[in-house]
Amino acid sequence: MIVRQQVDLPSAPCAVWLMDSITQVTPQDAGAIVVSGSHGGTSSAHYALAAALALAVFNDAGVGKDKAGLAALDILQSQGRAALTVSHSSARIGDAADAWMHGVVSHANANAKHLGFKPGQGLQAAIANYMGRAGVGPLSPCP
C-alpha cells in the first residue's frame, strides 16, 4: 500500500505531506513541502516541478552512477525550487514515514541551503526548525 498522509504540525504555515511515491503529488499540492520515499532521479524532479512544490524531499538511493540519485536537486534548482535528499542509510527507499521519522539530510540544493537545510540534520527537526522561520526571505516556500 502506498501512503499519502498529511503531517499534523500545529501552526504550520504550509502543508507537509508524506508520500511514499512522488507520483502521488497533484496540482493541489502546490506550495507544500512533500517528503517522498522516491529516489532523487530525473523522473522524480518532473513530478515535483509539475506540482510546483515548495520543498521536495527524496531518498538519495545511494547516490548511484553519475550521481543519478541526486539529479532532481539540480533540475529543481534550475527552476528556482528547493530540494534535498535523505540518506538511504537513514531511511528506507519508498517509505516516506521512515524518511520523516529517521531520515538524515544527505544533500541539499542551493535553494534548500538558503532556507537553512544542510547535510547532517535530522529531517523532521530541520523541517520543524524551518517552519518556525517560514515567511522570511525570497525563497520562502509557504505562500
In a domain, residue 119? The reply is yes
Q: Which helix (H) or strand (E) holds 130?
A: helix 123-133
Which grid coordinates are listed for 83? 530540494
In a domain, residue 57? The reply is yes
Contact (Cβ atoms closer than 8 angstroms) between residue 19 and residue 36 = yes
Q: Domain tally for the chain?
A: 1
**What is the Cα–Cα distance from 113 to 103, expressed in whole angstroms?**
17
pTM: 0.90
Phi, psi of 73 (to 5 degrees): -60, -45
Which grid coordinates are listed for 137? 526571505
Any idea which residue has 513541502 for its cell?
A: 33
Residue with the bigger pLDDT between 18 and 132: it is 18
CA end-to-end span of the chain? 31
Once rounded to an integer, what is the mean pLDDT over residues 14-36?
Answer: 92
Contact (Cβ atoms closer than 8 angstroms) between residue 31 and residue 12 = no
The predicted-structure confidence for 73-85, as pLDDT tens digits, reads as follows: 999 999 999 999 9
**What is the Cα–Cα distance from 55 to 139, expressed in whole angstroms?**
10
The predicted-structure confidence for 31-58, as pLDDT tens digits, reads as follows: 899 999 999 999 999 999 999 899 999 9
Which grid coordinates are listed for 133? 522561520
pLDDT at 128: 86
Domain carrying residue 31: 4-133
In a domain, residue 139? The reply is no
In a domain, residue 138? The reply is no
pLDDT category, 15, cuts 50, 70, 90?
A: confident
Sequence-ordered list of residues with C-beta below 8 angstroms from that of 40, at least 6 positions apart, any chain: 58, 59, 60, 61, 69, 70, 71, 72, 73, 83, 85, 107
The predicted-structure confidence for 67-114, as pLDDT tens digits, reads as follows: 999 999 999 999 999 999 999 999 999 999 999 999 999 999 999 999
**What is the Cα–Cα distance from 90 to 29, expressed in whole angstroms?**
26
pLDDT category, 1, cuts 50, 70, 90?
A: low
